[in-house]
A = this chain, B = another copy of it.
C-alpha cells in the first residue's frame, strides 16, 4: 500500500510503499478514507515537533483520520463501520492514564501519538488500531470525519475551562478565539452554533478580503485585527471577555489573556510556543488574577469521550461553514497540494479512498 511519510526535518513528505498492516488480537484493520492536515503536521515535517517510532527511519504522517472497518478481526466492530481513530497510544504495555480513560492527561513519556511522535499515523491506504481507539461515526459524516479529531481538541479544552468555573453560577456571554487557523475557526463555529455564546470574537492578523474573515463574519462573529487591537486592548475597544480560547502559540497572548478576561472568566491555552523571554507586569497580572477570580487552563490532546462529543458537534455545524472551511481535498497523486500553507488555504485533507 501507499503511505505519506517524512523523515522529520528532512523536508517535504513523500509517498512510500509499505505492506498492508496485519491487525493483532484486539485490533481491527481500517481502510482509510480521508486524513486532514493541520499545523502539527507542518511542525512534524519541519522537525520542530514529534519523532519517528523506535527502530524506524521515517514517520507515516496523519492524526486526523476517518476510515471504514475492513477487517474487524474478532473485535466488536463490523465490516463497513465508519470510524475515527484517537491519537494517543500507550508507549509500552499500558499505564493508568490509558486504563482510567484519560490518555490525554498522560505526561510526556507515557504515550506515543500516532502520526506525531513515536507511532505511525493514518496517512496510508490502511491502518490498524485497537478497536477501543476507534470511535464509530455515522455514514452521513464520512466526508467530514477528518474534522472530528480537531473538534475533539476543543471539546476537551472547553470542558476543562468550564470545569474550572463549576464551583459557582457562571453565566458567560462573550467568547473570543485567538487565532484564525482551522482550529480557531472550528472553535468559533462551536462557540456560536453549539455553545450559543451571545457574542463571539475571533482575533487574527489578516487584511481583507480574506476567506477566514469571511467565515468569521458569516458565522455572526466579530473579526478583531490584532495589529489594530492587541489582546490587552480588547476590553477597551470591545468588552471584557468571559471565555478566551488561545490557539496562536504566541506566548504573550497567554499572559495578555489575563487582562482581557472579564471578572470570573477563564482562558484556555492550546498553543505550544518555544522558549521566549519577555517582560510582563507580573504584579498587576497576579493581582488581577486574584481579585477577579480568573483562571487559566492549559489543554492538550483529547480522549474518546471528547471524540464522541465532537461527532455530535460536527453534526450540528452548518454545511455552509464546513464548505467554506475545507478548501481542498486531494488524492494521492496531488497530495503535496494538501500541504500548501498560504492565505487561501484553510483546511485540507488527503483522500485515499471513498466510501
Contacts and interface: CB of A to CB of B under 8 A. Distances in A.
A288 B297 CA distance: 11
Contact of A290 (B102, B255, B264, B298): B298
A303 to B, nearest CB: 8
Interface string A238-255: 000000000001011011
A289 B246 CA distance: 12
A287 B264 contact: no
A292 interface: yes
A273 B299 contact: no
A280 interface: yes
Contact of A282 (B280, B288, B294): B280
B102 A169 contact: yes
- Chain A interface helix/strand/loop/mixed: mixed
A270 to B, nearest CB: 6
Nearest to A160: B167
A254 B163 contact: no
A112 to B, nearest CB: 15
A299 B290 contact: yes
A279 B275 CA distance: 13
Given A159-B167, A279-B279, A296-B296, A254 B291 contact: no
Instruction: State how many copies of this chain the complex holds.
Output: 2
A107 B274 CA distance: 35
A205 interface: no
Contacts of A254: 282, 285-286, 289
Given A105-B168, A163-B166, A164-B164, A269 B293 contact: no
Contact of A283 (B166, B276, B295): B276
A284 to B, nearest CB: 5
Given A291-B298, A298-B289, A278 B275 contact: no
Contacts of A299: 290, 293
Contacts of A156: 167
A55 interface: no
Contacts of A165: 163
A300 interface: yes
Which of A159, A288, A300 counts the most B-chain CB atoms under 10 A from its CB?
A300
A100 B264 CA distance: 15
Contacts of A163: 163-167
Enumerate the 5 nearest inter-chain pairs by beta-carbon distance, A residue then B residue, closest first. Answer: A276-B283, A289-B298, A164-B164, A107-B263, A251-B282
23 contacts: A105-B169, A105-B264, A105-B293, A107-B264, A159-B167, A160-B164, A160-B293, A163-B164, A164-B295, A166-B166, A251-B282, A251-B283, A252-B282, A255-B282, A269-B286, A270-B290, A272-B286, A272-B287, A273-B283, A273-B287, A274-B283, A276-B283, A277-B281
